[in-house]
Amino acid sequence: MIKVCPICKKQFEGNTKKKYCSKKCKKNYENSLRSAPGKKTKKALSGSVRIPSSSINRPHGLNQIATAYWDKIAPTLVARGHLNVLSEDAFAELCDLHSRLKDINMAIDGTNRSLLQIDDKWDNKEGVETKSFKESALSDLKRKYSKQFLEYCKAFYLTPLSNRGNFGIEDETGSEKEKDNLLD
């Protein structure tokens, strides 16, 4: 049976189950499904489904700091395609973690206390008091929340290493041609 490949439009011979002329065309189709919304590629199929950004709303249970973080970051993530209906709960958790870290940092700065505490212990066998340092409760919380916050940031491509490309979003200076003209 002679068929037409939906990606490269070449004719090929294959059975009823074979949809593409090569593995390369199949991979190109799979990659076109992963592209950011709004970004038109010449190999993207017209049948791909995109979720409109209007269906993603900020949850009502966030406090002021988390709400401000959502309002600041969410539009960029929606434009990139990293925030959708399936990931909005995880992003709400990221916003909540951001708020908690801000609260912990304010508590640490407000008390002017060290992140280490002196741990006094009495040794009954030798009859001597020993002093050592241990991590404070605020320091422990900050470390744990920071680690979890960075893991969520990596999942949403918010760290410098994972954010190496612009994902098809124009920045404030304009198009690539204008950037090249500025550099010349």
Give the separation between CA 126 and CA 123, rounded to whole angstroms: 6
pLDDT of residue 10 exceeding 70: yes
Which of 27-31, 57-61, 101-105 comes out lowest in average pLDDT? Answer: 27-31
Percent of the chain with pLDDT over 90: 18
Looking at residue 96, its pLDDT comes to 93
Looking at residue 47, its pLDDT comes to 44
What average pLDDT does range 60-68 have in this prediction? 90
Looking at residue 109, its pLDDT comes to 82
pLDDT digits (tens, 9 = 90+) for 129-184: 777 777 777 888 888 999 999 999 988 888 887 766 655 555 544 455 554 544 54
Tokens representing 92 are: 């709400």
What average pLDDT does range 22-44 have in this prediction? 66
CB atoms within 10 A of CB 81: 19
Looking at residue 94, its pLDDT comes to 94
Give the separation between CA 16 and CA 176, rounded to whole angstroms: 44
